[in-house]
Amino acid sequence: MISALLMACGSSKPVAESTLDVTKAMNVAKAHLENSLREHTDKTLFPRSTKSDGSLNAVPARDWTSGFYPGSLWYMYDYTKDKRWADSAAAWTAGLESEKLNTHTHDLGFILYCSFGNGLRLTGDADYQAILLQGAKSLSSRFNPKTGVIRSWDHGKWQFPVIIDNMMNLEFLFWATKVSGDSSFYKIAVTHANTTMKNHFRMDNSSYHVVDYDTTTGKVLSRGTHQGYAGESAWARGQAWGLYGYTVMYRETQDKKYLDQAVKIAAFMLDHPNLPKDKVPYWDYNDPAIPTTQRDASAAAIMVSALLELSQYVKAKNNYFESAKRILKSLGSKNYLAKPGTNQDFFLMHSVGHKPAKSEIDVPINYADYYYLEALLRYDRMGQKK
């Protein structure tokens, strides 16, 4: 997502530490995006990942990942200040406007805030603001006062499912209150975060993926996973969503309980005995196949961006910045960063989408690229001050 900081693998083998060169990494990303823009011109289908045969998997605007490709183009404009990138980003962002009226998904933060939100931040386009405010209203329609959370899915075996990923959409609601003056968005975000903090986390500060609620009583019906190894396992990307989400909650509210929660989640991840030396996690911390199971570069990219921000909020001595630097070095190495002209023009290799469904296993995925760019920008702007 858009940060306040910006506003002011398959292999289990440890990766040798490389030099962290933001300019070099950004140039690689730029080359990939330039190739992608030349080769993929249908702006109704957004590059998401690769299919099992290695071909490009492109998705329509309604897909939850559609906002990450335009968002990456906006981040490249943010870095280069070259108007060509703004023009490309705007052209790809335009195709997402219809989603402002989509009340059937909780992912409007990903779809709209990563695209139009970055566009608004960088251009001040008033039309973008109007689109975003309508999108925030659509997202808010999924909040249930009885359960105290925003509904995630409208499908499946659950009565009122909420996934940890939903923490990532709250930043969008805080923005809406700032711009509109309507405190209802803020209240929904805080209530959702509080309810999630109460019901999603285990004693070791890892989180469940899915919590199902009773819409009559508001009580928890079940806890488990949909994309992780097992109901009681720690799905890596889910842990990263939680870390990022509660770091943002502290930034937006200055309520220390959210900072404390983020610190607990960070400790679970960074101190976990199954975290590899290069700090790019396995797709699930509890997969019994470790160390021969897949890594998840997307979880690492989300995690590193969150750690960079968290490092600025914790006054006591911590290892967040150095850990983030190590992750960025790993992701920027040949083990994860693809050469231009390969990898279907995505930057990072070795992400995992939904292994239990045998979907997107050890492939490039657009949200890995998006959060990797965000982390590089954050490091570039605050890293050398450390």
Q: What's the confidence (pLDDT) of residue 317?
A: 81
Apex 261 CA angle, 257 and 336, nearest 5: 145
Give the DSSP letter string of 239-283. HHHHHHHHHHHHHHH--HHHHHHHHHHHHHHHT-TTS-TT---BS
Residue whose structure tokens are 């600025």: 312
Q: What's the confidence (pLDDT) of residue 15?
A: 40
d(CA 297, CA 372): 9
β-strand partners of 348: 337
Give the DSSP letter string of 90-136. HHHHGGGGGGGG--S-STHIIIIIIIIIHHHHHH--HHHHHHHHHHH
Structure tokens at 257: 């309980």
CA distances from 333 to 18, 248, 312, 325, 337 (A): 6, 28, 26, 12, 6
> To the nearest whole percent, how much of the chain has pLDDT over 90?
92
Residue 317 domain boundaries: 4-385
Asked if 243 and 272 count as a contact pair (C-beta separation under 8 A), the reply is no
Residue 116 has pLDDT above 90, yes or no: yes
Mean pLDDT (whole number) for 313-334: 94
Residue 383 has pLDDT above 70, yes or no: no
Can you give the pTM of this predicted structure?
Answer: 0.95
Count of C-beta atoms within a 10 Å radius of residue 153:
17
Structure tokens at 323: 């850990």
Asked if 211 and 200 count as a contact pair (C-beta separation under 8 A), the reply is yes
Q: 374: domain CATH number?
A: 1.50.10.10
Give the DSSP letter string of 332-344. TSTTTBPPTT-GG
Asked if 218 and 146 count as a contact pair (C-beta separation under 8 A), the reply is yes
Q: What's the confidence (pLDDT) of residue 386?
A: 46
Signed CA dihedral, 303, 102, 157, 196: sign only: positive
Mean pLDDT (whole number) for 204-220: 98
Please state the domain count of the chain.
1
d(CA 206, CA 160): 21
Query: Looking at the annotation, which residues are catalytic?
Result: 107, 165
Q: Which amino acid is at 164?
A: I
Asked if 165 and 176 count as a contact pair (C-beta separation under 8 A), the reply is no
Apex 355 CA angle, 246 and 304, nearest 5: 35
Residue whose structure tokens are 């285990």: 202
Q: What's the confidence (pLDDT) of residue 382?
A: 85
Mean pLDDT (whole number) for 291-312: 98
Asked if 130 and 110 count as a contact pair (C-beta separation under 8 A), the reply is no
Mean pLDDT (whole number) for 88-103: 98
